[in-house]
Amino acid sequence: MILTKLQSAISAALKSLYNIDIAPEKVDIQSTKKEFEGDFTLVVFPFVKQARKSPEAVANEIGAAVNIPEIAAYNVIKGFLNFSVADSYWIDFVAYNANAATFGFVAPNPEAAPVVIEYSSPNTNKPLHLGHIRNNLLGWSVSRLLEAAGANVRRVNLVNDRGIHICKSMLAWLRYGNGETPESSGMKGDHLVGKYYVEFDKHFKEEVKQLVDQGVDEEEAKKQAPLMVEAQSMLKRWEEGDKEVRDLWQKMNSWVYAGFDETYARLGVGFDKIYYESNTYLLGKELVQKGLDLGILFRKEDGSVWCDLTADGLDQKLLLRRDGTSVYMTQDLGTALLRHNDFGTEQLIYVVGNEQDYHFKVLKLILGKLGFDWADKVYHLSYGMVELPNGKMKSREGTVVDADDLITEMEATAEQMSLEHGKNDDLSPEQQKHLHHILALGALKYFILKVDPTKNMLFNPAESIDFNGNTGPFIQYTHARIRSIVRKGQEAGLDLSAVCHPSAPLSDKEKNIVKTLYDLPATIAQAAQKYSPSMVANYAYELAKNFNSFYQDTPIMREPDAELRLFRLQLCNMVATALRNTMDVLGIEVPERM
């Protein structure tokens, strides 16, 4: 790659001119800003003091000393040394990579220790909602991104299938369900169970209000409410293995799992292994006992077990309640150990919202205190919340945007938009349905993934599905347009595998596309390092935008010069491949025709 050669040449020049030792890989070269002439820029200010010359003098001397055939010229603007790459290099670059199906990607090493990434982590008391959608899409895309950078990845899911929240749905169904099932109601199982989670909260609030009206303090009323007392009792019976409670739990969870599987399939995400809190919490309890035996943890007078983290700048963390029941941290300790034992991991990545930042700090600290030297491999991929124009979602109050409903709504919008823009021409009904689905998912996924994961985001479905601007459908349509051009070229007898070297100089728009393609490997590597699919999304948009600018005023099949015509067709094919691969990292399918 030209960048590596340029770094080596600059490193050698600095040594020979000023006796400055700097490793080639440490030479910081940036892309030249669009308003200046050149392709790569070296900022020389860091070398001025040792060189004892002005920035302009240093830049000119380095530029004159860099003598490699790929560099056609250089220019100096104050302390910025801009290098222009020869057209012949860019032409060779396209010729060499035009038919590379995985250009920019590194093949995963199946022998390497795997990176384990957890995402989704749903509760079995409610269906998946918009917040889960961001979690699943982020987890899936980060896993694909890491694979594109060469990592050996395992995708896992932890289902929170036990706990007080599950008991709330179960108790409400017993009280108010009258034997309702997914079959009798016509509802997906996860929707049905979620209905009774909301039902519990409604009746629970009524009980709390009655107690408050009788003079009981509100916080105490929440503890004394008969429904809450019974739910706590049900949780204890569950942990003791009560058959009646366990049978009901298995039945209602089976309804939920069937519903989850449907939603995962529609989203296009999956897992290599699924863990269940009902299994991992037992191993967590064993670790808590180990911590007690070693004096790392302590038991309070009421029987509850805690970890004192005050010396670490935190507080005391509850690990077992006074009745012996476990908390989230208990099962996460067990799950972490189980995954490490299962995979011998290089890293354990948890895709969980930033509301749990404290939780994962505690998890790492306790694992370390328990003596696990791999605790520092635990990484919390903390992401911002998805908000709506009217504020946050609340599952207990039933004010969430359901994932299934949202996908259905997006598909309907995609169908309407396709009809308005004439995108359904010459497609069979089955092809139309598939196109509407991938446009809907492309809009949804791209809108969510183009945002930096660390930031909160406001979801607006109407903005996401536009065929213009920084949207998934815009990139999908650009890919379909390019594929149409390539097919026409092949039908005309142009051989994409032929080597061509046009003599005509490349236009600025051609070079802009080639340079953008050149940036793909570095973009993938940097995005993987930062766990940031948004970098890939915005790269795909920039490439699509550059192509459309080129296409508007550059003839391809009408170009009279045969070599230049073939070169442009190869360039088109390379752009289509890059768009397909980068969108695939985001979990987005691109159509061949629109």
For the chain, what are the domain ranges? 2-85, 119-387, 403-585
| 86 phi and psi angles, rounded to 5 deg | -65, 145
The answer to whether the CB of 477 falls within 8 A of the CB of 594 is yes
* 98-112, 136-150, 399-413, 478-492: least confidently modelled range: 399-413
306 vs 311: CA distance, rounded Å: 14
Q: Answer yes or no: CATH 3.60.15.10 is held by domain 119-387.
A: no
Q: Would you call 512 helix, strand, or coil by DSSP?
A: helix
- Per-residue pLDDT of 6-55, as tens digits, reads 999 999 999 999 999 999 999 999 999 989 999 999 999 999 999 999 99
Tell me which residue of 142, 74, 561 sits closest to 380, measured CA to CA. 142
> Residue 392 pLDDT more than 60?
no
Q: Say whether 119-387 and 2-85 share the same fold.
A: no
> Residue 525, Cβ neighbours under 10 Å: how many?
16
518 vs 524: CA distance, rounded Å: 11
C-alpha distances (whole Å) from 474 to each of 420, 439, 466, 543, 591 are 15, 10, 7, 11, 12
Q: Answer yes or no: CATH 1.10.730.10 is held by domain 403-585.
A: yes
Say what the pLDDT of residue 393 is.
42
Residues pairing with 30 in the sheet: 41
Residues pairing with 159 in the sheet: 276
Confidence class for position 303, pLDDT limits 50, 70, 90: very high
| 233 phi and psi angles, rounded to 5 deg | -65, -40
The reported pTM is 0.90
DSSP states along 277-315? HHHHHHHHHHHHHHHHHTTSSEE-TTS-EEEE-GGGTS-
Fill in the amino acid letter for 371: G
Q: How crowded is the C-beta side of 270, counted as CA atoms within 13 Å?
A: 3
Torsion, Cα of 560, 564, 566, 568 (10° steps)? -110
Percent of the chain's residues with pLDDT above 70: 97
* 132-136, 344-348, 571-575: least confidently modelled range: 344-348
C-alpha distances (whole Å) from 404 to each of 188, 190, 401, 588 are 10, 11, 9, 18
189 vs 183: CA distance, rounded Å: 9
144 vs 141: CA distance, rounded Å: 5
Q: Would you call 507 helix, strand, or coil by DSSP?
A: coil
- pLDDT averaged over every residue in the chain: 93
Confidence class for position 398, pLDDT limits 50, 70, 90: very low
> Residue 229 pLDDT more than 80?
yes
Q: Would you call 322 helix, strand, or coil by DSSP?
A: coil
> Residue 391 pLDDT more than 70?
no
Torsion, Cα of 506, 507, 511, 513 (10° steps)? -120
Say what the pLDDT of residue 401 is.
80
Say what the pLDDT of residue 562 is.
93
Torsion, Cα of 238, 244, 249, 251 (10° steps)? 160
The answer to whether the CB of 98 falls within 8 A of the CB of 501 is no
Confidence class for position 399, pLDDT limits 50, 70, 90: low
Confidence class for position 396, pLDDT limits 50, 70, 90: very low
Average pLDDT (464-483) is: 91
> Residue 394, Cβ neighbours under 10 Å: how many?
11
Class of domain 2-85: alpha beta
Average pLDDT (165-182) is: 96
> Residue 77, Cβ neighbours under 10 Å: how many?
16
Confidence class for position 76, pLDDT limits 50, 70, 90: very high
User: Where would I find the H helices in 344-428?
Assistant: 357-369, 403-421
Fill in the amino acid letter for 243: K
59 vs 105: CA distance, rounded Å: 34
Say what the pLDDT of residue 395 is.
43
45 vs 24: CA distance, rounded Å: 17
423 or 573, which is more confident? 573
C-alpha 556: how far from chain center: 36
